[in-house]
């Protein structure tokens, strides 16, 4: 059993694609029409391209409620690993990314939390 696909809920797929590629540095892999939305995935340029992140529309009312509740409670939807969190934090700040938590050491891990412009908080972590 392998993890090959996971998703983040987004309020706008075009905006999400722009943020996840131009700001975060992911690479678009799949973009297929799927009714009113698209099957839209990105991959890490440094990782295997068979592990995809689906930018999934939050059109389902339950999905929107879940996404809003996590955001309001300050809970990240997911987390991405980075090699140098301080460097990534500075790079992203220069691009206008809003952080709700600057890099903070929490035991053996350093974490930071930012807004992805699509309704989510995302955690960065460095071990």
Rounded CA separation 63/12 (Å)? 14
- Average the pLDDT over 98-113 and give the result: 98
| CB-neighbour burial class of residue 114 (10 A; exposed 0-12, middle 13-18, buried 19+) | buried
User: Is it the case that residue 49 has pLDDT exceeding 90?
Assistant: no
Strands (E), the chain: 5-10, 27-34, 37-43, 52-57, 78-81, 99-106, 109-115, 121-126
Q: What is the distance of C-alpha 27 from the center of its chain?
A: 13
Rounded CA separation 4/51 (Å)? 4
User: Is it the case that residue 102 has pLDDT exceeding 90?
Assistant: yes
**pLDDT range class, residue 47, cuts 50, 70, 90:** confident
pTM beyond 0.85: the answer is: yes
What digits encode the pLDDT tens for the residues 58-76? 999 999 999 999 999 999 9
> Which domains, from first to last, does the chain contain?
5-126 (3.10.180.10)
SS3 120: coil
Q: What is the pLDDT of residue 18?
A: 98
Q: What is the pLDDT of residue 48?
A: 86
User: Is it the case that residue 119 has pLDDT exceeding 90?
Assistant: yes
């Amino acid at each position: 059993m392998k993890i090959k696909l996971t998703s983040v809920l987004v309020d706008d797929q075009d905006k999400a694609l722009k943020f996840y590629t131009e700001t975060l540095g992911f690479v678009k892999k799949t973009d297929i029409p799927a009714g009113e939305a698209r099957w839209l995935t990105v991959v890490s340029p440094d990782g295997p391209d068979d592990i995809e992140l689906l930018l999934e529309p939050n059109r389902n009312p339950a999905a929107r409620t879940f996404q809003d509740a996590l955001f309001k409670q300050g809970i990240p939807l997911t987390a991405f690993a980075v090699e140098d969190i301080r460097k990534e934090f500075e790079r992203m700040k220069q691009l206008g990314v809003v952080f709700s938590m600057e890099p903070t050491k929490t035991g053996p891990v350093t974490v930071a939390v930012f807004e992805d412009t699509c309704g989510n908080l995302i955690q960065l972590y460095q071990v």
